[in-house]
Structures are given as C-alpha cells and as structure tokens.
Amino acid sequence: MRTVIYVCALVLGSVLMGFEILASRYLTPYFGSGVHTWAALIAVVLLAMTLGYFIGGLLIDRFPTLRLAALFSGLAGVWFLVVPVISTGFLEAIMLGFEDEVVGVLLASCVLLLGPIAALGTYSPIAVRLMMSDIARSGSTAGTIYGVSTFGNIVGTLGTALWVIPNVGTRAATFGFGAVALACAAVLWLAAGGFRPGGSRRWAG
C-alpha cells in the first residue's frame, strides 16, 4: 500500500507544476508574457511551496494521518475547479486596479497559485513523516519522496507545455487537474484506513 503514497507524490507533483504552466496562460492576456510575469509566477510558486512545507510539517506532527494529505489534495482540486469560473473577473479587476505592472502580476499570481500550490506542497512532508518507520533509513525515505515528487514536477512541466495545452486547452486542462487532485484525495482517504506508520499506529484519522 505504500505504493499509493509514491504514485500520489508523482501525480500531485505533475499537477503542481502543470498548473504553473497553465497559470501563465491565464495571466498572459492581462499582463503579457514577459520577464515580469514569469518572475512573479516562479516567486509565488516557491513561496507557496515554502508555506506548504511548513504547514504540512507542523500539522502532520499533531495529526499523524494520511487523511491530512487527502484533505489538502481535495482543497487543491476544488480550487482548480473554481479557477476557470472566476479568473476572468478577478484578473480584469486586478489589471485595472493597479497601475504598477509588477504589483498587479504578483497579486494576480497569488490569487491563482498561492492557495492550491501551498495545499499540494504539504504532501511531501506529510508523506515523509508517515513513511518514517526506520530512523536509519530516514534519509533515503525523504530523498525518495522528494525525488519522486520532483520527477513529477518535470513531467507536469513538459507534458502540460508540449501536449496538454495544445491538445486540451487551458480551461479544460484546469478542470482536468482538479479532477485528478480530487481523485488522489479520494484514494488517499480510502487508503488511510489500511496504513500503519512505523508498524504500530494506524494512518487513519
């Protein structure tokens, strides 16, 4: 059953970076595709992942359950489903409300990315904590989780840019990412009832 954790690390890592590429398509009509837009996107993604790492690490020590990962994955999925519906109004308001392009694109990036990326960023520290059954192998456990997730980032970046956007479109792809994140949430929630961290406690809530 530990395979579920690794598979979800790969899939959610792909969704995380795939949505960064999609976010650029939402921002470009309002703020252009120049260096300011990409700098804002990258900075907000890194900030969101930092917040996610801290939040996930703090909460999993208090609530050592796989259902915590399911909850955050579900929140990200819901956010993705909402983005295509609300993005036009929010981005137009931000573009018209801020004369400074940098401030505007930073705020717009936060609206699109901060919440869902932070939610997905919680996954790796949660997974590492729950997989930590042997202190002597803690380094390899953490390295494998983050390695699989980062490989998913690569797949999501290239796959979204080269195949998803040209063949599916931005809005449909966003809905698709939302569905994938919700599917991972459901799998993690159901799997939580059968996992035992460290061979002693159940990974259920």
CATH number, position 94: 1.20.1250.20
Q: Is residue 205 part of a domain?
A: no
| 73, 188 Cβ separation under 8 angstroms | yes
User: pLDDT grade, residue 136 (50/70/90)?
Assistant: low
Q: Is residue 204 part of a domain?
A: no
| 185, 70 Cβ separation under 8 angstroms | yes
Q: What is the pLDDT of residues 78-132, one digit of tens each?
A: 999 999 999 999 999 999 998 888 999 999 999 999 999 999 999 999 999 998 8
Q: What is the pLDDT of residues 36-59, one digit of tens each?
A: 999 999 999 999 999 999 999 999
Q: What is the pTM of this model?
A: 0.90
User: pLDDT grade, residue 198 (50/70/90)?
Assistant: very low
| 127, 5 Cβ separation under 8 angstroms | yes
Residues 6+ apart with CB under 8 A from 111: 90, 91, 94
Beta-strand ranges (E) seen in the chain are: none
Token code pair at residue 182: 């919700």
Q: List the domain range (segments joined by +) for residue 27.
A: 2-199
| 56, 123 Cβ separation under 8 angstroms | yes
